[in-house]
Chains A and B, each alone.
Chain A
Amino acid sequence: MIALIDYGAGNLTSVRKALTHLGAEFRVPDGPADLDRMTGVIVPGVGNFEATAVLAPEWRGAIAGAVGRGTPLLGICLGLQWLFEGSEEAPGAEGLGAMPGTCALIRGGPDDDFGIFKVPHVGWNSLHVTRDSWLLDGVGEGDQVYFTHSYAAPVTADCVASTRYGIDFASAVQRGHVAGVQFHPEKSGDVGLRILRNFLERAA
């Protein structure tokens, strides 16, 4: 059973729909203690990094505990950013800290489209696979996925795919059984479903 964490920052309908399509058994846990019985945890998210603060402290502790016991964890969008230590978006809010680094606002580079640099980064962009991982098994170099975000994680040793938009940022990360994707796999067609399936197999 997969725990789908609902911290009230956006809608879970698309994620639920994709998980149902893939035949996953999942539910929104009633309380932090429920995580003890789960085989995997998904932290989805859209909105502001500060919204993740409502996860603290009980949820944060329970999720950290589950990770400590070896339960696979997938962070989606804001959920990926939350795996890091913090974000420029909400300097007071603490991340899970499962990966070193701080998320920052995407800033434009010289290759901006028409000289207009749009933030948020919205739309389909390509994955540059930086190393092998169970998360991206079957995903090809240059495959495109759907993004919508203004802040992004740095490219570090935990990065398994990077994407270029003004800067290079970490579009997928993985360290052991902890993984995250900055894009929305539930809205990224067959490529996205493949990535969700990879997580579900890991969390089986």
Chain B
Amino acid sequence: MLSKRIIACLDVRDGQVVKGINFEGLRSAGDPGALARRYNREGIDEVVILDVTATIEKRKALARTINAVAQEIFLPLCVGGGIKDEAHADAAIEAGADKVSLNTAAIARPELLTALARRYGSQAVIVAIDAKRESGAFRIYVRSGQQATERDAVEWAREAADRGAGEILLTSIDRDGTKSGFDCELTAAVSEAVSIPVIASGGAGTFDHFVDVFTAGKAHAALAASIFHYAEHAVADLKRHLASHGVPVRR
């Protein structure tokens, strides 16, 4: 049986792992290579490196971070944050990423998804969607949650899948950093609309939140950062909890 994936997100800035509250106010949580090593030992299924302040001059630093993490783990590794074109994606993959995640650039140039899927296969192309509840719908925001668009999350998820994205990384802006639980309605709405897997993100605070998103939320994977970073809970404990609630996980 296919296991539900537990994914650790490393929000990286200047080579250090940080974590924001609602995308703002960053505090440091350590060295990315050391964290990846710890997660691997604890049984994490996948790692995402998110460059939260990606700029042109920082891309070389990012490549070093990707390489440092890739040396520590033999698990799927995804890189996102500021990937604007094929050259950025090439550099991330060359440095050791198995998948790249596109957010703002995919909305601006959806054909980029198709180009990357042709080049690397759909399994390497993740579309990241940051959504916020507004008048009964889920509106997409870009530029790290700072800029509203006219796009609806469910409708864009469908289009992105048609254009070649292989997975959707769906973040609830309302829940991100709050530890009040994943937005299961948002996640289920997108998961039911597409034929590709959906990774739920934003709001993980307790083990039961993961049970909820894997049942009511119909998610295939769940991503969290701070719940793992500060050793508040071990990945292994979370998996034990999920298994005892009938959620299939890799042990």
Contacts and interface: CB of A to CB of B under 8 A. Distances in A.
A149 B121 CA distance: 10
Interface of B: 1-5, 40, 45, 70-71, 74-76, 93-96, 98, 120-124, 166-167, 191-192, 195-197, 218, 220-221, 250
Contact of B96 (A14, A48, A164): A14
Contact of B122 (A120, A125, A144, A190): A120
B120 A46 contact: yes
21 contacts: A11-B94, A14-B96, A17-B74, A21-B74, A46-B120, A113-B220, A114-B218, A118-B196, A120-B123, A120-B166, A120-B196, A123-B2, A123-B3, A123-B45, A124-B2, A124-B3, A124-B250, A186-B74, A187-B75, A187-B76, A188-B74
A149 B124 CA distance: 11
Contacts of A97: none
A21 B74 CA distance: 10
Nearest to B95: A13
A14 B77 CA distance: 10
Contacts of B196: 118, 120, 122
Interface string A98-123: 00000000000000011011111111
A126 interface: yes
Q: Which A-B residue pairs are the 3 nearest by beta carbons?
A: A148-B123, A47-B121, A124-B250
Contact of B1 (A21, A120, A126, A187): A126
Interface string A1-39: 000000001110110011001000000000000000000
A154 B75 CA distance: 26
Contacts of B76: 146, 148, 184, 187
A10 B124 contact: yes
A192 interface: yes
A186 B124 CA distance: 15
B121 A13 contact: no
Contacts of B1: 125-126, 164
Contacts of B74: 14, 17-18, 21, 186-190, 192-193
Given A21-B74, A165-B2, A122 B96 contact: no
A125 B3 CA distance: 6
Main secondary structure of the interface of B (DSSP, over half): loop
Contacts of B71: 17
A164 B3 CA distance: 12
A148 B98 CA distance: 11
Contact of A123 (B93, B195, B221): B221
A123 B123 contact: no
Q: Which of B74, B75, B122 has the most CB of A within 10 A?
A: B74
Interface of A: 9-11, 13-14, 17-18, 21, 46-48, 113-114, 116-126, 144, 146, 148-149, 164-165, 184, 186-190, 192-193
Given A122-B166, A125-B3, A116 B191 contact: yes
A91 to B, nearest CB: 19
A21 B72 CA distance: 10
Q: Which of A117, A118, A126, A149 has the most CB of B within 10 A?
A: A118
Nearest to B44: A189
A146 B78 CA distance: 14
Contacts of A17: 70-71, 74, 96
Nearest to A147: B2
Q: Which of B2, B70, B192, B218 has the most CB of A within 10 A?
A: B2
B195 A119 contact: yes
Nearest to B251: A144
B120 A144 contact: no
Contact of A121 (B2, B96, B191, B192): B2
A41 to B, nearest CB: 21
Contacts of A149: 123
A163 B196 CA distance: 19
Given A116-B218, A186-B74, A189-B75, A144 B98 contact: no
